Amino acid sequence: MKINKQFLPICKEDLKSRKINELDFIIITGDAYVDHPSFGTAIIGRVLENEGFTVGIIAQPNWKSVDDFRQLGKPKLGFLINSGNIDSMVNHYTAAKKKRHEDLYSPNGKAGYRPDRAVIVYAGKAREAYKDVPIIIGGIEASLRRFAHYDYWDDKVRRSILIDSKSDLLIYGMGEKPVVEIANLLKYGMSIHNVTSVRGTVYIAKTTDGLKDFVDVPSFEIISTDKKAYAESYKLEYYEQDSVRGKAVVQKHGDRFIVQNPPSIPLSVEEMDMVYNLPYARTYHPVYEEKGGIPAISEVKFSLVSHRGCFGSCSFCALTFHQGRTIQKRSEKSLVTEAELLTADPDFKGYIHDVGGPTANFRNKSCKLQETSGTCKNKQCLFPSPCKNLIVSHKEYLDLLRKIRNIKGIKKVFIRSGIRYDYLIYDKDPEFFEELCKYHISGQLKVAPEHISNKVLKQMGKPYKDVYDKFTKRYFEINKKLDKKQFLVPYLMSSHPGSDLNAAIELAEYIKNMGYTPEQVQDFYPTPGSLSTTMYYTEINPLTGENVYVPKTQKEKNMQRALLQFNLPENYNIVKEALIKAGREDLIGHDKKCLIPLQRQNNNKHHSKNLNNEFINKKQDSKNLNNEFQNKKHNKTTINKK
């Protein structure tokens, strides 16, 4: 593994210096160009380069003109288009649909460098630039919008992004295998319109004749008006996202059909090593230096991606639809080599920020049956209780961490990508838990119970409250044994489907018993592709068929969010209103169990603070007058001396 000092071409001067007359592929992306394996554009570009193809990058083009889309000339084989590491609408808007002012994937963290619905906009401009060039879309935005889907920002069901972008082909998932296969087919002269058999892709067909074994889901026209049909469609799609047992999925759009081929075969350990061992520059392109750099690199620059995939299957996470439930891992040797490489970086201070993936402590497939049968169709590995076939072991992950932290020049190895605490507590061997607390935490461990009401956790697909309580008890016991004062920081979510005011109040009472108020809470965000988003739109759990309560008004969402930070003075009125509405006036008063007092208590305190500030200001004014007098006196003395 080595660092490449040469980035992929971004301008015609780069092409000239490399003696490239015509690029095979041009990647158009909504992120700034960062040549690091945490960025999809870099991975796809380097994988294609490794296969002998020439690749150029057009990062964050001006979409109001076609000029930027022609800056590298006409690609020989095709345009590859993505919105960046995040869906462009999620990147631009908060859960309250307010415009964000920051974009960590853009120069100096400023927003405004990419359009809304970037994939659709970029595809249109690429088509305008060169009408006959194949357009292949991919990345998270395309992947999670490949079927007809509910769109939170339009508050309606939108067509497949393959239809709306008028592209030729869509790659879903991580994409290395499909993109190489497609590239070779195009290289040897196949028309893009005949590329219909590649796993991990979606194409448009005029007929289903010739398709043998597939799942037919309700059409766009039906699910856009019938919420029960939408829920059924999602369930059928969800069940086929497995590379071993998954079938093709077909969805009609007007007189055409969206055809999703089965998921791509997971990368082997050797293939994963190859992808991450490619010669990335491991930083942002130098053109951004004078603009303030790209903030997104800071957290990942000294982090290690150990694996992909997650068998946790949280309802609000769309990972099942993108990376899948099957773990794909790198070898220990590859990770140790990369860690050693990081120690040679001039900016390295001795700290590895993370060693993990979607869930840090998932290192292998959840059970041996997955090798031959794939993931279970209608059963989860951890919820509502651990499967009897689940293999619970941290030995390999622990061995990896030990090797990395013993590398010369490494002071500390942190774990920040998230620990699945239920999987941890199910491990009968306490060794990993103890070393986690001893070596891999800096004062606090962040975990994600998300909620404590079992009726909400049921819809989230998260372990029930007693599991979290067991984990916290053990966590503090271990820290006491180690004579360490380390804390737990729980991530909590408000307004998830299934959460009514009573559930939010139950969580608020739990927070009060914890003894501190969380600094940050997350409103549920209905992003494309997740099970929870389907529940939000349809008010039905598609996997169980049961009706689900969904808080939809902004007023109730504000109430639930405020209850999670009930003791903040600015939340007093809305918390009081929520408690009265729920008939929980017993929590208003001065009893120990109460969340808020009868009346706002900060008025006198605020008045006293104002008086104190007024006194300080007067004292400061007096000091300023005295300084002014002293300065005049000094000036006068200076003049006299002259």
What is the DSSP annotation of 590-628? SSTT-SB-SS-SHHHHHHHHHHHHHHHHHHHHHHHHHHH
Decide if pLDDT at 276 tops 70: yes
Q: Is 270 left (phi over 0), alpha (psi -120 to 50) or beta?
A: alpha
Q: What single-letter amino acid sits at 197?
A: S
pLDDT at 493 over 50: yes
Alpha carbon distance 139, 48 (integer Å): 15
Q: What is the mean pLDDT of residues 228-240?
A: 97
What does the alpha-carbon distance between residue 350 and residue 489 come to, in Å, rounded to a whole number?
24
Residue pointed to by tokens 């295998």: 177
Give the model's pLDDT for residue 509: 97
How far apart CA 211 and CA 229 sit, in angstroms, is 23
Query: With DSSP H G I counted as helix, E B as strand and the rest as coil, what are the percentages for the chain, rounded to 5?
Result: 40, 15, 45
What is the overall mean pLDDT for the chain?
Answer: 92
**Distances from the Cα of 347 to the Cα of 283, 287, 298, 351, angstroms:** 12, 19, 11, 11
Beta carbons within 8 Å of 536's beta carbon, 6+ residues apart:
150, 152, 497, 524, 526, 550, 552
In angstroms, rounded to a whole number, what is the distance separating the alpha carbons of residues 452 and 504? 9
Q: At what angle do helices 332-343 and 395-405 cross, to 10 degrees?
A: 20
Calculate mean pLDDT across residues 401-425.
95
Strand order, beta sheet including 522-523: 444-450, 487-494, 522-523
User: Where does the pLDDT of residue 269 fall: very low under 50, low under 70, confident under 90, or very high at 90 and above?
Assistant: very high
Q: What is the DSSP string of 546-595?
A: -B-----SHHHHHHHHHHTTTTSGGGHHHHHHHHHHTT-GGGBSSSTT-S
Task: Indicate whether 355 pLDDT > 80.
Answer: yes
What pLDDT was estimated at residue 618?
Answer: 40
Token pair in block for residue 514: 């914890």
Across the range 194-205, mean pLDDT stands at 98
Element (H, E) at 395: helix 395-405
Is the predicted pLDDT of residue 394 greater than 80, yes or no? yes
Q: What is the pLDDT of residues 539-563, one digit of tens each?
A: 999 999 999 999 999 999 999 999 9
Q: Strand, helix or coil at 82?
A: strand
Q: Phi and psi of 355, rounded to 5°? A: -135, 105
Task: Give 254's contacts (C-beta < 8 A, 6+ positions apart).
Answer: 220, 221
Cα angle for residues 558, 151, 327 (degrees, 5° grid): 95
Q: What does the alpha-carbon distance between residue 415 and residue 394 come to, in Å, rounded to a whole number?
A: 14
Minimum mean pLDDT range among 2-6, 7-11, 187-191, 381-385: 2-6
pLDDT at 186 over 60: yes
Number of other CB atoms surrounding residue 555 within 10 Å: 12
Say if residue 627's pLDDT is above 70: no
Strand partners, 171: 201
Residue 102 has pLDDT above 50, yes or no: yes
SS3 letters across 311-370: CCCCCCCCHHHHCCCCCEECCHHHHHHHHHHHHCCCCCCCEECEEECCCCCCCCCCCCCH
Average pLDDT over residues 205-220: 95
Confidence of residue 1 (pLDDT cuts 50, 70, 90): low
Contacts of 55 (CB under 8 A, 6+ apart): 8, 9, 23, 24, 25, 26, 27, 45, 48, 49
Provide mean pLDDT across the span 328-354: 96
- Place 602 in a pLDDT band, splitting at 50, 70 and 90: low
**Average pLDDT of the residues in 41-52:** 98
- In the predicted structure, residue 638 carries a pLDDT above the cut 60: no
> How many C-beta atoms lie closer than 10 Å to residue 299's C-beta?
13
Q: Which helix (H) or strand (E) holds 12?
A: helix 12-17
Q: Which of 169-173, 328-332, 497-501, 619-623 has the lowest mean pLDDT?
A: 619-623
Q: How sure is the predictor about 636, in pLDDT bands with cuts at 50, 70 and 90?
A: very low
Say which range, 142-146, 261-265, 431-435, 601-605, has the weakest mean pLDDT. Answer: 601-605
